[in-house]
Amino acid sequence: MTTAVAAPFRFFSLQVVRTRRLGPSLVRVTFGGADLEHFHSHGRDQSLSLFIPAEGHTEPAVPIELGDSWWQGWRELPDDVRAVMRSYTLRELRRDPDEVDIDFALHGVGPDAATPAGPASRWASRAAAGDRVVLLGPAVADNRAIRFRPPEDTDLVLIWGDETAVPAATAILESLPAGTRVRAWLEVPHAGDVQDVVTLADAEIEWAVGGTSMETLRHAQLPPAERPYVWVAGESGRVKELRRHFVGERGVDRRRVTFVGYWRRGLTEEQLRAAGE
């Protein structure tokens, strides 16, 4: 039985139900488990911590029995035993049966791949039904790990995301109500990664394949708006650059810009976490 950590978050013991390849560099993994009856979220960019088994192991080693002291206990486990932790966003939560989807960007795809595959990419590329993981996620629907929060008076939503932010961005787009004006710029490595996004919103979505959309965005003529809201997510350096663009060059109120660095070029997640400690 799992142990609560710090409300509104807790651990969930899950297993893979099925996988589906969405494109050359994107795979959707569906997880199930009895614990999911306690999983609650109404955010479309809900952040999660996923623990997968260390190489050569079948169970993720996370000392959840330590309660709030789990972090220190996890850090003290041997490197070849300690579960690999990675941050992801929830793609979808369903009931009856209780299931969650997480979309994984697969690095190291193709002969010209610039980014080598990490442990999570390798795990996701070969995940099979029954594989076990541990998830640290929300037990309360409205929680601080939800970042997409447009003010009620928003009259234009602007979205930018690289391949790591595509799952959150597409989930956001699908959730927006009719009448919402949206411009979105999304990047993917391959043409086969472009997705059909079904949304009631008045959305214009521009996909950049194998390149950068930042210059296109910089020179884009935006629809007139008095109270725009901006959500940008992906590689930290580019996210900060785009925040400066929207605030400094576009004149958007900095309080109406949400920017989330999902990764940083040249650093592993372990290195990022160590730098933040």
In a domain, 276, yes or no: no
pLDDT tens by residue, 210-239: 877 888 999 999 999 999 999 999 999 999
**Residue of 213, 148, 135 lying closest to 175 (CA atoms):** 148
Assess if residue 167 is contained within a domain.
yes
| Owning domain of residue 113 | 4-141
Structural domains of the chain, count:
2
In sequence order, the 6+-apart residues with CB closer than 8 A to the CB of 140 are 7, 8, 40
pLDDT category of residue 2 using cuts at 50, 70 and 90: very low
Confidence at residue 51, expressed as pLDDT on a 0 to 100 scale: 98
Residues 6+ apart with CB under 8 A from 95: none
Residue 103, pLDDT > 70, answer yes
The two three-digit tokens of residue 42, written as one number = 């109404």
Q: Do 171 and 123 belong to one domain? A: no
Instruction: Tell me the pTM.
Output: 0.89
As a whole number, the mean pLDDT across the chain is 91
Q: Which of 115-119, 198-202, 204-208 is the least confident region?
A: 115-119
Closest CA to 75 of 276, 275, 274: 274
Instruction: Write out the DSSP string of 47-95.
Output: EEEEEEPPTT-SS-B--GGGGGGHHHHHHTS-TTTBPEEEEEE--EEET
Average pLDDT for residues 75-80, to the nearest whole number?
96
Strand partners, 240: none
pLDDT band at 153 (very low <50, low <70, confident <90, very high): very high
Co-location of 126 and 169 in the same domain: no
H/E element, 205: strand 202-209
Find the CATH number of the domain harbouring 165: 3.40.50.80
Q: Confidence band (pLDDT; 50, 70, 90) for 1?
A: very low
- As a whole number, mean pLDDT of residues 249-268 equals 88
- pLDDT, average across residues 173-201: 96
